[in-house]
Amino acid sequence: MTTKSKPNLTSSNYYTREMDRQYMSVSQFKKFVECEAESMAYLKGEIDRKPNKAMLVGSYTHAAFESDEVFDQFLQDNNSVIFKSNGGKYADFQKADALIETLKNDNFAMFAMTGEKERIFTANLFGVDWKIKVDNVNFQNGFFSDLKTAQDIHKRYWSNKYDGWVSFVEMWDYVLQMAIYRKVIEQSEGMTLTPYIVAVSKEDIPNKAVIHFDESRFEFEYEYAEMKLERIMKVKNGEVDPEACGKCDYCKSKKKLQGTVEVANLIWE
């Protein structure tokens, strides 16, 4: 089935399970890489995924830059989670307010977030139909951008994927995300846009940066995605059985011990 014959994607159905069955997305791709068994259990309707506090805070921050109407609606929909009984906000959302103000007080950061908000695009990449929803798309100035929060924008992490120390951008697969977004927009609109990440840290004094990418990074991500997709789509289409990671909440809930584990395997399995 091609994207032309699929149901029309809208803001109201974009995140539904049915649309996840119809399309691949960066978040779904990453979930399959993390655990095939959990991903298939979700797509089959055997489990639900409820947003945690961190996800709600992230959505709160994004809503603040989308529009006043969207932000007000988010406050109404999540009033009991955001506000205490005395009317004050819980600490996580107070922290988010500081991040929001940090960016709103920076003209360059705000320019990097100008454009159409939450624009949906679809395209076929590597023989698979993808859907993306982009924070900001600025066709006039030839770029798109995505807002990211980070514990510390200069913190480094060890990555098995890259076999080395990396930034938060690589650790959480934001290079992959920007590469896929860029290619989907190119296929859909016939324009090659420049991607940026607008990052702000969760430190007591928030740090900020507008991050660009050397284009040489994208080829690796396309090769990586194409390589992983071969198996992912076989699993998704029911051609092969999904493998369990043994570590996620879903796998832990299904776990049955069969024997013992040697000490060294606790950090390598």
Euclidean distance between CA atoms 82 and 56, whole angstroms:
9
* Residues contacting 161, CB < 8 A, separation 6+: 170, 173, 224
Looking at residue 1, its pLDDT comes to 41
Helices 174-189 and 216-236 pack at an angle, to 10 degrees, of 90
| Predicted TM-score of the model (pTM) | 0.92
Residues in the chain: 269
pLDDT in tens, the chain (269 residues): 445 567 789 989 999 999 999 999 999 999 999 999 999 999 999 999 988 888 899 999 999 999 999 999 999 999 999 999 898 999 999 999 999 999 999 999 999 999 999 999 999 999 999 999 999 999 999 999 999 999 999 999 999 999 999 999 999 999 999 999 999 999 999 999 999 999 999 999 999 999 999 999 999 999 999 999 999 999 999 999 999 999 999 999 999 999 999 999 888 76
Domain spans in the chain, listed from the N-terminal domain onward = 3-50+106-236
The residue written with tokens 């990449």 in the block is 125
Confidence (pLDDT) at 247: 92
**The predicted structure's pLDDT at residue 89:** 92
**Domain covering 3-50+106-236, topology:** Lambda Exonuclease; Chain A (3.90.320)
- Taking a C-beta distance cutoff of 8 angstroms, is the pair 152, 207 a contact? yes
- 149 and 202 Cβ atoms separated by less than 8 Å: yes
Q: What is the DSSP-derived secondary structure letter of residue 9?
A: P
Asked if 2 and 129 count as a contact pair (C-beta separation under 8 A), the reply is: yes
First to last CA, the chain: 38
pLDDT value for 50: 86
Is 96 in a helix, a strand, or coil? helix
